[in-house]
Chains A and B, each alone.
Chain A
Amino acid sequence: MLESKSDKIFSLVVYIILSIFGLSIIMPFLNLLATSLSDQVAVSNGSVSFWPKNFTWSAYQFVIQNNQFWNGLKTTVFVTLVGTTLALMVTTLAAYPLSLPKFKARKFFLVIFIIVMLFNGGLIPTYLLINQLGLRNNRWALILPSLISTYNMLLVKNYFETLPEALYESAKIDGATEFQIFIKITLPLSLPTLATVALFYAVGFWNAYVNGMLYISTPSKMPLQTYLQTLLNMAYIPAHELSPEVAESLSTESIRAATIFSATIPILVLYPFLQKYFVKGLVLGSDK
């Protein structure tokens, strides 16, 4: 069917607006990248826009030699890997019984988890609790409190509920235990949803900074985002670890930009590959 003139204009406007939207998201990244690759003169006279001026790698040399950055990265990678793995285990384990209609106690336990989503003790009581437990300055303080999110658990539970009951019945007849059914049938059939929830947890752990600010005082254990947070408020970043010539040619803006960009690379690289899963998983899980 031929498109009418007004429809062509409609489509054109759509393309233009979406492209502007898309550019408005990409441009700040280009600006940050350009700033991180320009020398001090260009940055401080404001002539850097979306392409590096007086190109230099020295800001990245600073990042590579910066112990604080590597320590932060180490903590964050540890917290993200261990946290996401444990969180997936706890979340799917809890979601499984709550997804079975035959499990009569499910309503009661569901309420226990939902209350947590709606109401919490607040910042100060949680802060005092972590101190009471002796978790101060311990990396587990960055993991344990975030291992189960009711929202993610409900997403998984809703998806589990869509699996055909007949599968379970036949496994039961073959003498499979609940745990075997869970491992061999439920989990393999739920990969898109599991990938989605894993991504949510991983991004959550990667981006978390408040707990690091509250509970970690030793710089070597500080997570990356908490370190970045301190950079935001810093007017001047000490570059004493570098040779004087390099330090002199660097602006605080470039160092900050290079550090922020380096810390974001893992997300920028992994995210496009995971995108197809999470859109599917999110829609499947919430459509109930």
Chain B
Amino acid sequence: MKKKPNKLLKHFKQYGALYFFLIPGLILVAIFNYAPMAGIVIAFKNYDIFAGRTPVESIIKSEWVGFAHFKTLFSNSDFTRAFRNTLIISTYKIVFLFPIPIILAIMITDIKALWYKKVIQTILYLPHFLSWIVVTALFLQILGPYGVINNWLKNLNIIEQSIAFFGNNDIFRGLVVISAGWKEVGWNAIIYIAAITGINPQLYEAAKIDGASKMQQVIYITIPSIANTIIMLFILRIGAILDAGFDQIFNMYSYVVYDKGDILSTLVYRSGIGDQNYSFATAVGLFNSVVALVMVLGGNYLSRKIFKKGLW
């Protein structure tokens, strides 16, 4: 009985100051991250804003409906469409955009002229720092009815009338993938560039003496050396498959392309904030977060198991 408090006392005497360091962060996380988790109960209620004077009072006074919102989820066509679109858009992004940063990194590290290397890296990383609003504005401008692209296509007699790139269900997903690539492939190359820079230069020297061409060096040295990095990032990327990019879709889509473009997070926004269908929106959001959590944990577990290294 006596020993334990002593031990604790000693611990706090020695490390007490360190707890103070954590206080601001813990308070913020408790209020803005953990408190909303308690708010998830409204997915199991029929939330009525007017049930109380404050949101918390309304939550408490609203009636319980159990899993009612979840039972109807898969018979709700808005939900199934958004779920399908989320998976399809994410898969397109992985298939078309995952390999590009690897190729970019191989190309960038091949460059000898330092000035060019610096300039091209500066340019390629830049779009990552722009908001999706600015990027959308740039694409709206060049793809607009009187924009550069439509003018070129008209001058080349490929089309007669302007293409409505943002309002066409056949084009929208392609537009989403291309603009996401435009914005992020350069930035995503950074980690591969670091991995390639870390390869032992003697490997390349030896290969050169043996007369290996650059292409052979890439295939037999570079790619095997960074294979672990590639596989790890691939697993983690798959884990994030339910994140199809709210900021991007929200700024680029309109009701015309809901069919091919509406994703789970934009549906949550519209039904919750727009239609004030709070309980349904929370249920959709919760479904999204839970499945995403399982995917991320699974990806991280695999990554740890294979490479002894995960996201955290």
B136 in the interface, Cβ–Cβ < 8 Å? yes
Number of A-B contacts (CB under 8 A): 250
B18: interface (CB < 8 Å): yes
Does chain A have a CB within 8 A of B54?
yes
**Band of interface residues on A:** 35 or more
Q: Which 10 A-B pairs have the closest CB atoms?
A: A121-B36, A125-B39, A46-B146, A122-B285, A94-B25, A207-B131, A97-B18, A125-B36, A128-B55, A28-B138
Task: Please give the distance in Å from B4's CB to the nearest CB on chain A.
Answer: 15
Whose C-beta in chain A lies nearest to the C-beta of B16? A178
A28 contact from B39, B56, B141, B278, Cβ within 8 A: B141
Whether A43 pairs with B146 at a CB distance below 8 angstroms is yes
| Residues in B205-223 with C-beta less than 8 Å from chain A | 208, 213-215
Rounded to whole Å, the gap between the CB of A121 and the closest CB of chain B is 3
Docked complex Cα distance between A268 and B286 (Å): 38
Asked if residues A131 and B42 are in contact (CB atoms below 8 Å), the reply is no
Check if B97 is an interface residue, CB within 8 A of chain A.
no
Interface size grouping (class) on chain B? 35 or more
- The reply to whether the CB of A63 lies closer than 8 angstroms to some CB of chain B is no
Given A119-B289, A122-B40, A129-B32, verify A90-B25 contact (CB < 8 Å).
Answer: yes
Out of A98, A114, A132, A209, name the residue touching B131 (CB < 8 Å). Answer: A209
- Evaluate contact between A31 and B40: CB separation under 8 angstroms: no
**Distance between A48 CB and nearest chain B CB, rounded to angstroms:** 8
Contacts A123-B281, A229-B133 given; does A128 touch B29 at CB 8 Å: no
Tell me which residues from 87 to 118 in chain A have a Cβ below 8 Å from any Cβ of chain B.
89-91, 93-94, 96-98, 100, 102-105, 109-110, 112-114, 116-118
Residues of A whose CB lies within 8 Å of any CB of B are: 1, 4, 6-7, 10-11, 14-15, 17-19, 21-22, 24-29, 31-32, 35, 43-46, 49-50, 89-91, 93-94, 96-98, 100, 102-105, 109-110, 112-114, 116-129, 131-133, 144-145, 147-148, 153-154, 177-179, 182, 203, 206-207, 209-210, 214, 225, 228-229, 231-232, 253, 256-257, 260, 263-264, 267-268, 271-272, 275, 279, 282-283, 286-287
Given A14-B107, A267-B129, A118-B213 contact (CB < 8 Å): no
A-B contact pairs, 25 of them (CB 8 A): A6-B214, A14-B110, A18-B120, A19-B120, A21-B120, A25-B127, A31-B148, A46-B151, A93-B22, A97-B22, A105-B19, A113-B25, A113-B29, A118-B293, A121-B35, A124-B281, A127-B272, A127-B273, A128-B42, A144-B28, A144-B32, A148-B25, A207-B131, A257-B137, A279-B190
Q: Tell me the residues in window 32-76 of chain B with beta carbons closer than 8 Å to chain A beta carbons.
A: 32-40, 42, 54-56, 59
Chain A: minimal CB distance from B60 (Å): 12
The reply to whether the CB of B269 lies closer than 8 angstroms to some CB of chain A is yes
Sample of 14 further A-B pairs with CB below 8 A, known A6-B215, A122-B40? A4-B213, A10-B215, A11-B214, A18-B107, A26-B123, A27-B142, A29-B138, A89-B24, A105-B19, A123-B281, A207-B133, A232-B251, A263-B134, A264-B130
The answer to whether B32 touches A145 (Cβ under 8 A) is: yes
Given contacts A11-B110, A90-B28, contact A22 B35 (CB under 8 A): no
